[in-house]
Amino acid sequence: MSVAQYAADNAKRGPETAPISPYLRWLTNWGPALPLIIIGIVMLVVPCALMIRQSFALPDGSGFTLANWVSLFESRSARTTILNSLLLSFSVATIALLVGGPLTWIISRMTRNWQALNLGLLTVANNFSGIGLAFGYVAALGSYGMITLALKMIGIDIIPPASSSFWGLTIAYEYGIVPMFVLLTLPSMALIRNEWWEACQCCGANRWQFWRYVGIPVLGPFLGASWILCFTWSMGLYGLPVALLGSSRPAFNLITLKMSRSMTGLLLGNQQMPVLAVLLMIIAICALTLYKIMLKRAGKWL
């Protein structure tokens, strides 16, 4: 073997490296993410574990008992509170689907400039929450709101729903939930191609048949996944219902309000707060699991 050939073989083999230990390999792969993992454990996992433990603890924090869970579901007011939160979240997410779905389709077919303008407005509206949304509802549909007074000026004497009622809360929630629904589902609208509608027309299909057999089956999982996120988001809202209902003995009670009152000792001691918190965690885990299933089903079109 010549010297030139030996050098070429060495260049192909490259420098010899020592085997890396599994610990060093793990540290190399996960080291950059360690600060985020530690923050996640301290800020999320540890509080959840303590809340689960506290939901089964005696009032003094020791022992193990199921009495906290039993007393919660035996309480008529607690059952009504849970049902109120579920019904409100279901209504809010469903209205967001019915309004936000067509609105998303219209925005997705706009020109780029109009689309950018609408996306900017929706992003601003989506970032309003709590007191801002409550003020928006009162300013638009309150007794002296702009829309209420404008309709009365043209002879339409309407009585908007009270801000502390079920429908008043639902409308106030929609101010932030509908923009969020549009922003979540807008990317999926690009899947519907104009060529599909042209092909359906060539086959003699009308617009309804196109949406029935093509559009809705493709977009359905995405719309369903966004509905689940809106439902979960509505369940956990606190600032907006506090602003509209008040934190002490509201006429329309919700889980988050009851947690606040229980935590401050105003209602049946402080043992209901961890039970309600764990209940919200269970609902959120179930919703996110269903969300992942829906996205996996939707992914077959990507």
User: At 1, is the pLDDT very low, low, confident or very high (cuts 50, 70, 90)?
Assistant: low
84-106: average pLDDT? 92
Distance CA 267, CA 257 (A): 11
60-73: average pLDDT? 83
pLDDT above 90 covers what percent of the chain? 12
61-90: average pLDDT? 87
Whether 279 contacts 262, CB under 8 Å:
no
The per-residue pLDDT for 86 is 92
pLDDT of 268 higher than 50: no
Least confident of 98-102, 126-130, 177-181, 294-298: 126-130
110-139: average pLDDT? 81
Distance CA 101, CA 13 (A): 58
| CB neighbours of residue 294 within 10 Å | 20
Between vectors from CA 191 to CA 190 and to CA 193, what angle results, nearest 5°? 85
pLDDT in tens, 3-61: 556 556 655 555 555 667 777 887 788 888 888 889 988 888 898 898 888 888 887 77
Least confident of 21-30, 69-78, 96-105: 21-30
pLDDT of 220 higher than 60: yes
The H helix count followed by the E strand count for the chain is: 16, 0
User: At 206, is the pLDDT very low, low, confident or very high (cuts 50, 70, 90)?
Assistant: confident
The per-residue pLDDT for 249 is 64
| CB neighbours of residue 241 within 10 Å | 26
SS3 193: coil
The per-residue pLDDT for 19 is 66
125-136: average pLDDT? 76
At 210, list the tokens. 């196109």
The per-residue pLDDT for 6 is 56
In this prediction the pTM is: 0.79
The per-residue pLDDT for 70 is 87
Distance CA 280, CA 45 (A): 15
The mean predicted confidence, pLDDT, of the chain is 82
Residues 6+ apart with CB under 8 A from 152: 158
